Amino acid sequence: MCGIIGYIGKEKKPLQFIVKGLESLEYRGYDSAGAACIDPKGNLFIKKVKGRVKLLEDLIKKTPQKTNLGIAHTRWATHGEPTVINAHPHVNADNDIAVVHNGIIENHFTLKNELIKKGYSFVSQTDTEVIPHLIEEELKHSLTYQEAFNNAVKKLEGSFSLVVIFKNDPKKRIYAAKMDSPLVVGILKEGFYIASDISSMVQHTKNVIYLKEKQIFISDGISVNIYDLDGNEVHVKPEKITWNVEKAEKKGFETFMLKEIHEQPEILKKIARMRLKNKKIIFEELSLSKAYLKRVKRIYLTACGTAYHACFLGKYYIEEFTGIPAEVILSSEFRYTRPKLGKDKLVICISQSGETADTLASIREAKKYGSKVLSLCNVVGSTIARESEGVIYTHAGIEIGVASTKAYTSQVMTIFLLALYLSEIRGEDKDLNKNLIFKEIRAVGDKISQVFDNVKEIKKGAKKYFSYQGAFYLGRHFNYPTALEGALKNKEISYMHAEGYAAGEMKHGPIALIDNNFLVFCIATKGQVYEKMISNIQEVHARKGLIISLATQGDEKVKRISDTVIYMPYIVEELSPIINIIAFQLMAYYIAQNKGCDIDKPRNLAKSVTVE
């Protein structure tokens, strides 16, 4: 997720103007930034920095003033590390086309190879760099800049948005395209603004146009024209917005956490699109060889907090789909448990930030004893990603809320896909119903949205139960980690004492706590362990515990023995943890809201824990 801005108009210092606006897009990522304009001599003027927008602001203080248009970008790395070379804008070899881009160009490998064959050379590791070269190539066969831009956009696959300026365009216009990634036009007094969202423009205008999918925006600074991909003009009416700056950054949600919870359908759909191609699972960034992965005899999974819960699911998935034994170890305990490391033992570590000190220490320990490390990270170029022999990115986009939500579900989906990939390359997938599994993977995004449709019930439950002192979260098998993660979400943002248990463990001690003042969240969605969960719920029911159950749509049995039921859409049980956790994220959220907690910044916590 990156932030992009374009501007055309009569501002006296246009570049400074848009880079200021870029600051409010930093919540979308801030590992590097850059800006470009056409200088008074008609040349492309570009500045880029590694780091925050403030550094870029300092750098462009003395930029050319007489320019009518500019573009700017704040980056959240997806392809290639956060470096100046990988920062946007990206240009063609003649330095006359500049592009800023948000999203992923899924066919960039194919396009890049075709362009290399035609003599184009590349300097960055980004997917974005194919765009200026592709436009240059199209210009050779097109009558106008608009035609070349359109043709290039049509050849790009994925969900993305981009803004482009041309040094030699006689009409001196700015061009943009929206393909499944947000782009909004701001109508100013004397000019136009186009950006990833309205947070960067709310202080200048309340009149906006939300571009729709597959629309092209072109402006000369006096008027705006919007076209479809075939070049037909589309007439759209500007809308009036009422948001303030703070609300705009959060896309209208009251907190980053709630915004991030709601981003999950799109992220899970994106992961499915990226990773599933022609009945195969694709991890194009994975540098560990298939030959090595075939030889692996044991896998250790390690992480902290929420990522540790994703490891737990990783163990279940790996053991379900492959013949490799897998073990989960908390990173803070890794070196004390003395795992039998070595060449044929793979260590998989999972981390959103890629900077967690304990996880990093485990990697170093694993490498010291000859194991290879494969990390699943969200932050590209993070220390953990750099120190691991292999890395797979989870593509959740920047996560600001301290409580991890979208990072978790993207980790779970990615480790699920990795387990399937391992079974595929080791020839252990013969008995798997791949058609069904792929169909279900693709359906996850929409099923998460169905959980949002049920938010009324969740809010009602939160209101009823927020003042209780303690809660258990019970689950079995694939949903045991969901119980652990549900409890962690609740305690970290609402400070309610909550513990996750494997439901079968209740009788061995914890059940002593149950009375009519104790909340018990039970995961009883359909699957192999359903009947066993019903028995566990009955045990709690008999002791008058207050039961809040997650059940599959239409289940009457669970309803009879629960105080509150939250219905979930059906999905194969392996993927049910991704759907079920959404209900618990929302439940924790509304419990915390009822208690008046500072949800994005819970007490005593930090987003990234860089001390052991």
Binding region for ligand M6R (CB under 6 A): 304-307, 351-353, 356, 359, 402-404, 492, 605, 608-609
Closest distance to ligand M6R from the beta carbon of 305 (Å): 2
How far apart (Å, rounded) are the C-alpha atoms in residues 152 and 142? Answer: 10
Q: What's the angle, vertex CA 59, arms to CA 178 and CA 206, rounded to 5?
A: 40
Please give the backbone phi and psi of residue 6, each rounded to the nearest 5 degrees, phi first: -135, 150
Token pair belonging to 557:
């049995």
Catalytic residue among 154, 434, 601, 607: 607
**Kind plus residue range of the DSSP H or E element containing 266:** helix 264-275
Token pair belonging to 164:
């482009």
* DSSP classification of residue 193: E
Residue closer to ligand M6R (CB basis): 132 or 305: 305
SS3 58: helix
Q: What's the angle, vertex CA 226, arms to CA 224 and CA 230, rounded to 5?
A: 145
Closest distance to ligand M6R from the beta carbon of 486 (Å): 11
Beta carbons within 10 angstroms of residue 498's beta carbon = 24
Q: What's the angle, vertex CA 500, arms to CA 498 and CA 506, rounded to 5?
A: 110
290 part of the active site? no
Task: Work out whether strand 44-50 and strand 32-38 pair parallel, antiparallel, or are unpaired.
Answer: antiparallel
Token pair belonging to 585:
């994220």
What's the chain's Rg over C-alpha atoms? Answer: 25
Catalytic residue among 2, 37, 304, 349: 2
* DSSP classification of residue 343: T
607 part of the active site? yes
Token pair belonging to 244:
């303030």
DSSP3 helix / strand / coil % (the chain, rounded to 5):
40, 25, 35
CB contact at 8 A, 99 and 130: no
How far apart (Å, rounded) are the C-alpha atoms in residues 63 and 45? Answer: 8
CB contact at 8 A, 125 and 188: no
> Of 589, 515, 585, nearest to 550 (Cα)?
585
DSSP character string of 421-483: HHHHHTT--TT--HHHHHHHHHHHHHHHHHHHTTHHHHHHHHHHHTT-SEEEEEE-GGGHHHH
Q: How far apart are the first and last CA of the chain?
A: 29
Enumerate residues 6+ apart whose C-beta is below 8 A from 5: 18, 21, 22, 25, 71, 72, 73, 100, 163, 193, 194, 195, 196, 200
Q: What's the angle, vertex CA 609, arms to CA 264 and CA 413, rounded to 5?
A: 30
Length of the chain: 612
Closest distance to ligand M6R from the beta carbon of 390 (Å): 17
Residue closer to ligand M6R (CB basis): 184 or 311: 311
- Cα-Cα-Cα-Cα torsion 475, 476, 480, 484, nearest 10 degrees, comes to 30
Residue closer to ligand M6R (CB basis): 211 or 418: 418
How far apart (Å, rounded) are the C-alpha atoms in residues 185 and 51? Answer: 27
Q: Nearest residue by C-beta to ligand M6R?
A: 305
Token pair belonging to 577:
């943890």
How far apart (Å, rounded) are the C-alpha atoms in residues 355 and 217? Answer: 39
Residue closer to ligand M6R (CB basis): 361 or 609: 609
Enumerate residues 6+ apart whose C-beta is below 8 A from 501: 472, 473, 474, 483, 510
Torsional sign, CA 539, 543, 549, 552:
positive
Give the residue carrying structure tokens 């897009």. Answer: 25
Q: Annotated active-site positions, please? A: 2, 607
